[in-house]
């Protein structure tokens, strides 16, 4: 069954991580002329299945015939064939700005922060810093244009990379001037250098200066990153991998504490998206405990990590989580957001009843912060 919109009962609500299905010709249109021959494209193979082409090569991590599933929230993807085409199955509001605003009206959402779909697939496929920044610059220009006439209802978020820090810092400055209200990074980089490494300081200094948040958002990752230590999982491997996906975000977040980056940039607003949120309480307990042992002297941290997290960090949770509401006030109500992930099929379409249950046990003040107040404050929307 296709996605059916339902009205959320609380006003002032903001989706902190919605998605858009980009037009397949975005990169051919928005790349500078010198890169257009290397544009990201959707092509058809001899079997009639769509495949993703990245810099002139077949994508290794996106299987031919899978692109048509990307907007299938609410559908049984096991029943969908590989001949299903991407552009023919973009759901309502999944690729049209006026439709997305109307969908938000029907669901009683004030605003939606928008992230890519095709843009989450390609970064693992190329280790070329120049084309990486060019692809991201093209997408960032397009998403700013896509959201521009929405009256602030659709909020563009820029895609950045750690491959070229000077290029990323310059692109963040350009994208924010063009209307983007923050940026996201993949949980990996081809240099295998942790996000909090001092070599990346220029980007965090720029984000601090511009007063915009930087968040870690899952993407398709290179095979060397995939957190699977077992073989012969067979058909269960994708289920296993998707469940363990948060490891990338957790390690990326931890590196900001390991290197003391979060304290070096006290104005930096740092987030974790689409990785669940119920784990953050135990995670902070562990790094606090480690900080208070002799191992804590191996980092330059001066303050308990949980205190710094509460001051500078945020995390977006899934509406169907059941443990997360029990730790929100303990960790810090000012740190939590929620998201639909619409229209991606790896999250269920039942977010309205799930989110209603999620917030019903929260105090009115905490509920208002989680549903929209924290997004307004952190992203300045």
| Chain centre to alpha carbon of residue 344 | 12
195 in a structural domain: yes
Q: Is the distance from CB of 370 to CB of 333 less than 8 angstroms?
A: yes
- Residue 69 carries which DSSP code? G
Instruction: Give the Cα separation of 198 and 96 in Å (integer).
Output: 40
Residue 216 lies in a domain: yes
pTM across the whole model = 0.96
**pLDDT (0 to 100) of residue 256:** 98
Task: Report the candidate in 227, 221, 231 with the shortest Cα–Cα distance to residue 243.
Answer: 227
Q: Is residue 60 part of a domain?
A: no
Output the pLDDT for position 170: 98
Quote the pLDDT of residue 116. Answer: 98
Q: Give the angle subtended at the CA of 155 by the CAs of 150 and 158, to the nearest 5°.
A: 130
Judge whether 319 lies within some domain: yes
- Greatest Cα-to-Cα distance within the chain, rounded to the nearest angstrom: 60
Is 41 contained in some domain? no
On whether residue 188 sits in a domain, the answer given is: yes
User: Could you give the residue ranges of the DSSP H alpha helices within the chain?
Assistant: 26-30, 97-107, 129-147, 165-177, 201-210, 237-243, 246-258, 261-264, 280-291, 305-312, 328-331, 351-360, 364-368, 374-379
CB 330 within 8 A of CB 363: no
pLDDT the model gives residue 368: 98
Residue pair 71/90 in contact (Cβ under 8 Å)? The answer is yes
- Res 2: pLDDT: 76
pLDDT of residue 334: 98
Q: 222: domain CATH number?
A: 3.20.20.140
* Residue 324 within a domain: yes
Looking at residue 27, what is its pLDDT? 98
pLDDT at 78: 86
Tens-binned pLDDT, residue by residue, of the chain (381 aa): 578 999 999 999 999 999 999 999 999 999 999 999 999 999 999 999 999 999 999 999 999 999 999 999 999 988 999 999 999 999 999 999 999 999 999 999 999 999 999 999 999 999 999 999 999 999 999 999 999 999 999 999 999 999 999 999 999 999 999 999 999 999 999 999 999 999 999 999 999 999 999 999 999 999 888 767 788 887 777 788 778 888 999 999 999 999 999 999 999 999 999 999 999 999 999 999 999 998 878 889 999 999 999 999 999 999 999 999 999 999 999 999 999 999 999 999 999 999 999 999 999 999 999 999 999 999 999
Domain that holds residue 142: 13-23+91-379
Q: For position 1, what pLDDT does the model report?
A: 55
State how many domains the chain has.
1
Residue 33 falls inside a structural domain: no
């Amino acid at each position: 069954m296709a996605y059916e919109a339902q009205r959320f009962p609380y006003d002032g609500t903001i989706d902190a991580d919605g998605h858009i299905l980009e037009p397949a010709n975005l990169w051919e249109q928005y790349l500078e002329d010198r890169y257009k021959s290397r544009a990201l494209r959707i092509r058809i193979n001899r079997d009639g299945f769509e495949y993703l082409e990245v810099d002139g090569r077949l994508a290794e991590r996106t299987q031919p015939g899978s692109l048509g599933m990307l907007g299938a929230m609410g559908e049984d993807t096991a029943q969908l064939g590989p001949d299903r085409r991407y552009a023919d199955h973009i759901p309502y509001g999944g690729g049209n700005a006026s439709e997305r605003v109307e969908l938000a009206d029907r669901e009683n959402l004030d605003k939606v922060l928008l992230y890519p779909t095709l843009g989450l697939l390609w970064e693992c496929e190329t280790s070329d810093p120049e084309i990486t920044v060019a692809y991201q610059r093209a997408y960032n220009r397009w998403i700013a244009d896509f959201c521009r006439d929405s009256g602030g209802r659709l909020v563009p978020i820029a895609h950045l990379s750690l491959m070229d820090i000077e290029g990323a810092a310059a692109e963040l400055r350009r994208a924010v001037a063009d209307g983007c209200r923050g940026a996201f990074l993949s949980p990996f980089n081809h240099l295998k250098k942790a996000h909090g490494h001092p070599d990346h300081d220029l980007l965090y200094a720029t984000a601090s200066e511009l007063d915009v948040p930087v968040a870690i958002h899952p993407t398709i990752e290179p095979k060397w990153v995939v957190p699977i230590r077992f073989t012969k999982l067979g058909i269960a491997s994708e289920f296993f991998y998707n469940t363990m996906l948060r490891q990338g975000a957790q390690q990326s977040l931890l590196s900001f504490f390991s290197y003391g980056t979060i304290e070096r940039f006290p104005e930096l607003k740092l987030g974790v998206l689409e990785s669940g949120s119920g784990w953050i309480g135990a995670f902070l307990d562990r790094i606090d405990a480690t900080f208070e042992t002799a191992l804590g002297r191996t980092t330059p941290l001066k303050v308990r990590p949980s205190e710094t997290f509460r001051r500078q960090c945020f995390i977006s949770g899934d509406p169907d989580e059941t443990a997360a509401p029990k730790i929100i006030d303990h960790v810090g109500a000012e740190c939590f957001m929620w998201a639909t992930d619409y229209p991606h099929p790896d999250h269920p379409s039942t977010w309205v009843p799930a989110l209603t249950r999620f917030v019903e046990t929260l105090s009115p003040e905490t509920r208002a912060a989680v549903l929209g107040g924290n997004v307004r404050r952190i992203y300045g929307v």
